[in-house]
């Protein structure tokens, strides 16, 4: 069974641009969560999607948004990039809410110049 | 809100030494508790979990016991190997919050031959 895949793996953008990151969950998994990992703030929850609906949202500005498609694939978008958005963005999939086991992808390393 | 506190690293050990990483949590309900491991350049891997008080999670020689009275979930391994060098994260999730994971700051472990 293929694991969680994230594309692209590395990305370099400049301030003010926008970016879209993609996550394909494990086959059969319907829940996708996103996390931001930085040296200063650690791992922080961005949002969770299940059946194309956002179930939960972390404490991030509105520049951060996401969506989920009918095949459970998810995208997150960051608009008007700031230097502080440089981070590793991790996606996790699970069978559903409260599944108690989430599987993480390798992450997308975003660098904002 | 929920929070997780774990000992800061780095923790440097010799091969075959005993490893303990302390983790305590604050939660309003009855969370599930997890230990994740992150190897260089990779995403997070679930190491072990416990879903209720007094449960012991174990995997690959690592163990942790859910202690409700001390709100702790300390990670232990009796004899570490060089391949255990990684960053270890303690985390919790509460059923009402779906799959949202709240992470500790991570503990870097370096095992020397």
Give the C-alpha separation, A30 to B28, whole Å: 27
Provide CB contacts within 8 A for B69, sequence distance 6+: none
Task: Give Cβ neighbours of residue A14 (< 8 Å, ≥ 6 apart).
Answer: A81, A112, A113
Q: What is the pLDDT of residues A12-43, one digit of tens each?
A: 999 999 999 999 999 999 999 999 999 989 99
| Mean pLDDT value across residues A90-112 | 89
A vs B: CB pairs below 8 A: 63
| Residue of chain A nearest B40, judged by CA positions | A106
Phi and psi dihedrals of A106, rounded to 5?
-75, -15
DSSP state of B79: S
For B71, half-sphere exposure in the C-beta direction (CA atoms, 13 angstrom radius) is 15
pLDDT of B1 > 70? The answer is yes
**Is the Cβ of B70 closer than 8 Å to some Cβ of chain A?**
no
Report residue B17's pLDDT band, with 50, 70 and 90 as the boundaries: very high
Do A43 and B32 make contact, defined as CB atoms within 8 angstroms?
no
For residue B8, what pLDDT band results from cuts at 50, 70 and 90?
A: confident
Task: Provide, as residue numbers in chain B, all residues whose Cβ is less than 8 Å from the Cβ of A42.
Answer: 103-106
CB contact under 8 A, A56 and B44: no
Q: Do B101 and A102 touch (CB under 8 A)?
A: yes
Judge whether A5 is closer than 8 Å to chain B, CB to CB.
no
Task: Report B:4-63 residues touching A (Cβ under 8 A).
Answer: 32, 36, 41-46, 49, 51
């Amino acid at each position: 069974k293929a694991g969680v895949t994230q594309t692209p793996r590395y990305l370099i953008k400049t301030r003010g641009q926008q970016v879209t990151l993609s996550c394909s969950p494990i086959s059969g998994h319907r829940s996708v969560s996103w996390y931001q990992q930085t040296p200063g703030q650690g791992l922080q929850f961005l949002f969770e999607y299940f059946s194309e609906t956002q179930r939960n949202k972390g404490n991030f500005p509105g520049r951060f948004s996401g969506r989920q498609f009918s095949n459970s694939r998810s995208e997150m978008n960051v608009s008007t990039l700031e230097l502080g958005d440089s981070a590793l963005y991790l996606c996790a999939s699970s069978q559903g809410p409260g599944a108690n086991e989430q599987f993480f992808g390798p992450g997308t390393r975003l660098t904002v110049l | 809100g929920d929070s997780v506190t774990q000992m800061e690293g780095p923790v440097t050990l010799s091969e075959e030494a005993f490893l303990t990483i302390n983790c305590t949590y604050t939660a309003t309900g009855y969370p599930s508790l997890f230990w994740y491991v992150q190897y260089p350049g990779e995403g997070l891997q679930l190491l072990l979990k416990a879903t209720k008080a007094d449960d012991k999670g174990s995997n690959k020689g690592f163990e942790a016991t859910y202690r409700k009275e001390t709100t702790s979930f300390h990670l232990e391994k009796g004899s570490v190997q060089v391949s255990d060098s990684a960053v270890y994260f303690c985390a919790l999730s509460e059923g009402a919050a779906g799959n949202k994971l709240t992470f500790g700051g991570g503990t870097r472990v370096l095992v020397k031959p």
